[in-house]
Amino acid sequence: MPTLSTRLIVTAFAAITLLLFGAPARAADYDLVIRNGRVMNPANGLDSVRDIGIREGRIVALSREPLSGAEEVDATGLVVAPGFIDLHAHGQRGFESWLQAQDGVTTQLEMEAGVYPVDAWYEKRAGTAPINYGATAGHIPVRIATMVDLESLGLTEQDLAAGLLNSPHFAAISQQRTWMEDPATAEQSAAIAQRLQRGLDEGALGVGYGINYTAGATREEIYRMFKVAAANGVTNFVHSRFGYELELGGSVDAVQELVANAAATGAGVHIVHIGSSGGSRVPLLLEMIDSAQKNGVDVTTEVYPYTAWSTFIGAALFDGDFTRTLGLGYGDIELPDTGERLDQARFEHLRAEAPQTIIVGHGMQEENVVAAVSHPGVMIASDGMYYQDGRAHPRGAGTFSRVLGYYVREQGVLSLMDALGKMSYLPAKRLENAVPQMKRKGRIEIGADADLVVFDPARISDRATFAEPALPSTGIEHVLVNGIFVVRAGEPQRGNLPGRAVRRGSQ
Ligand SMILES: [Zn+2]
């Protein structure tokens, strides 16, 4: 049988080749090997030198012995950690995604404001993203779709799909106060619930809210939306109703509303940026959140590592006398594109004429930021905004490096392993029940997605400042997304777009 003997000869030849030249045969085992790095895996506490073998976008080997691959990168003296997962990333165009990649972020998720329509948003992102992306169904855009006469503005629902803060129509929409200030009628409330359901049916990762921006939304409305989330087994990601210092209508009230809704509906709640929403009450709120968890309520929180916040000047949180409610002076408000500090006349003029104007509010105490950053279980998330002509709050560029450089290395307020957990494993765990894809992220183990960050713990630092907010972080050597370099030897690899959708119902 000629075929068989040919086969035998080929097999014998291959066997001899293998014996003589073991290396080339082994090289085919891995597309890429990261050699000799200090692998830190917050999921199981592993902190030891390993080689990591990567094939087809997944981690397939973790070895004390040297591995060899088609490509190899030496990570001697560097930390290899799971890529960072940002639960609060508004800015998701190329400009912001690349800044985040250079800050070690491999997955950016728009969980607070959320998006709508969901299908259209995912379609726009497909094939354009250096890092992984995803979003919740957003109560704010759904409220706009339901309560604003879009037709009179020459718009359709599809025009909202770019994300509100990125929308060329945001100026027109922010002149409409109905979606911010009016309570929904029973019919509107039912329509809002239906649209959120459609968003969840289209694969949204949860339900996102900015109640502070939709001050007209009643407690009943929010409670009913929590029931939608509960029925779908997803979590609510919420910017709480108030960030004020008041006893009645303050941040304690606001957090109690959310804990009560979670307890009453069984849906989980993740309270965003506890630093900016909690003000001076941060320590009390952290204690309440811990206590609710111990008593079986599914509630978590996050923080960004800065003492200034950012929003648009037309936002409902400035309604009334905000100098009293927010405990903030006009001079604490800055225009990030010029550095100008406002006075009352300038503030009122901009609020009336250009409500979409982005501002920075210098209004938090360092001790409260430290309390949240160092608190067990509190996640790190950037709240990174869209940059306008290269300018925004620097958190969009520096959040994760700032925690690792400033708070871990310089201030010593938490350990490196705890910090890494707050930016990778904990966010993945927060989502994985509703979004099974997240079980492969935020950890370094066999079968996990090869989303990795390789950095020098002695050098990692944020460089973005309020004066120069788009300076990329430093000390990050390599960032891999699905096994592909998006940062290599400190340089962004702008030809590579390996980011994939994180979406319910996807594999
Ligand atoms: Zn917010």
CA distance 317 to 327: 12
Residue 28 has what pLDDT?
64
Give the residue, 23 or 221, on which the prediction is more confident.
Answer: 221
Give the Å distance between the CA of 93 and the centre of ligand 1: 19
CA of 277 to the centre of ligand 1 (A): 8
Distance CA 13, CA 308 (A): 68
Burial degree of 406 (CB within 10 A; 0-12, 13-18, 19+): middle
Q: In angstroms, what is the span from residue 231 Cα to ligand 1's centroid?
A: 25
203's tokens: 């694969």
What's the whole-number mean pLDDT along residues 277-288? Answer: 95
**Residue-averaged pLDDT of the chain:** 93
pLDDT of residue 166: 73
Task: Output the pLDDT for position 168.
Answer: 81
Q: How far is the CA of 137 from the centre of ligand 1 (A)?
A: 15
In this predicted model, what pLDDT tens digit does every residue of 284-318 receive, in sequence order?
999 999 999 999 999 999 999 999 998 899 998 89
CA distance linking residue 8 with residue 1, whole number of Å: 11
Q: How confident is the model at residue 175 (pLDDT cuts 50, 70, 90)?
A: confident
Residue 4: which pLDDT band, with cuts at 50, 70 and 90? very low
Examine residue 117 and say whether the peptide bond preceding it is cis (omega within 30 degrees of 0): yes
pLDDT of residue 325: 82
Ligand 1 centroid vs 373 CA: distance in angstroms?
Answer: 17
**pLDDT tens-digit profile of 17-60?**
444 444 444 546 899 999 999 999 999 999 999 999 999 999 99
Ligand 1 centre distance from Cα of residue 487 (Å): 29
Percent of all residues in the chain with a pLDDT value above 90, rounded to a whole number:
81
363 CA to centre of ligand 1 in angstroms: 14
Cα-to-centroid distance, 466 and ligand 1 (Å): 18
Is residue 403 scored above 80 in pLDDT? yes
Residues 6+ apart with CB under 8 A from 205: 109, 111, 134, 135, 136, 234, 431, 434, 435, 502, 503, 504
Q: Using CB atoms within 10 Å of the CB of residue 151, give its burial: 0 to 12 exposed, 13 to 18 middle, 19+ buried.
A: exposed
Nearest by Cα to 299 from 283, 285, 280: 285
Alpha-carbon dihedral 461, 108, 73, 491, rounded to 10 degrees: -60
pLDDT at position 444 over 60: yes
Cα of 112 from ligand 1 centre, angstroms: 7
Pair 259, 231: CB distance under 8 Å: no
What's the CA-to-centroid distance between 272 and ligand 1, angstroms? Answer: 7
Nearest to 110 by CA among 155, 149, 160: 160
What pLDDT shows up at residue 429? 98
**pLDDT of amino acid 181:** 94
**What pLDDT sits at residue 324?**
83
Tokens of 265: 């509906």
Distance 198 CA to ligand 1 centre (A): 23
